[in-house]
Structure 1
Amino acid sequence: MTKAIKLLTALPAPQRQHLMTLAREVSFPEDARIFEAGGRADRFWVIRSGAVSLDQDVNSPQRVTVASLGAGDLLGWSWLFPPYEWDFGAEAFSPVRAYEFEASTVLAACEEDPPLGLTLMRGVAEILAYRLEMTRGRLMEQYAIHRGGVL
Structure 2
Amino acid sequence: MTKATKLLTALPPTQRQRLMTLAREVSFPEDARIFEAGGTADRFWVIRSGAVSLDQQVTAVQKVTVASLGAGDLLGWSWLFPPYQWDFGAEAFSPVRAHEFDAAAVRRLCTEDPDLGMTLVQTVAEILAHRLEMTRGKLMEQYASRRRAL
TM-score normalised to structure 2 length: 0.97
- Give the C-alpha shift of residue 81 in structure 1: 1.3
Secondary structure of 1:147's match? helix
Match for residue 119 of structure 2? 119
The CA RMSD measured in Å over matched residues stands at: 1.3
2:72 is paired with a residue of what secondary structure?
Answer: coil
Paired residue secondary structure (1:98): strand
* Aligned sequence identity (%): 80
CA distance in 1, matches of 2:117, 2:26: 24
In 2: Cα distance, 1:27 partner to 1:120 partner: 24
For 1:49-95, what per-residue CA distance to the aligned partner results, in whole angstroms no more than 9, with x for missing partners? 00000001111221110000000000000011121110000000000
Secondary structure of the residue aligned to 1:148 is: helix
**1:69 is aligned to 2:62:** no
Number of positions where the alignment pairs a residue of Structure 1 with one of Structure 2: 150
How big is each residue's C-alpha offset from its partner over 1:99-145, in whole Å with a ceiling of 9 and x where there is no partner? 00011000000111111101111110000000000001001101101
Give the secondary-structure state (helix, strand or coil) at the position aligned to 1:59.
coil
Per the alignment, residue 132 of structure 2 pairs with 132
Q: Following the alignment from structure 1 to structure 2, what is the Cα–Cα distance between the partners of residues 22 and 36?
A: 24
Give me the whole-angstrom Cα distance separating, in 2, the residues matched to 1:83 and 1:104: 13
Distance 1:27 1:60 in 2: 29
Deviation by residue 1:10-47 (Cα, 9 ceiling, x = unmatched): 11101101000010000000000000000001110000
1:1-151 matches, cutoff 5 A: 1-148=1-148
SS at match of 1:115: helix
Q: Which runs of 4+ in 1 moved over 3 A?
A: none
- Length-normalised TM-score, structure 1: 0.96
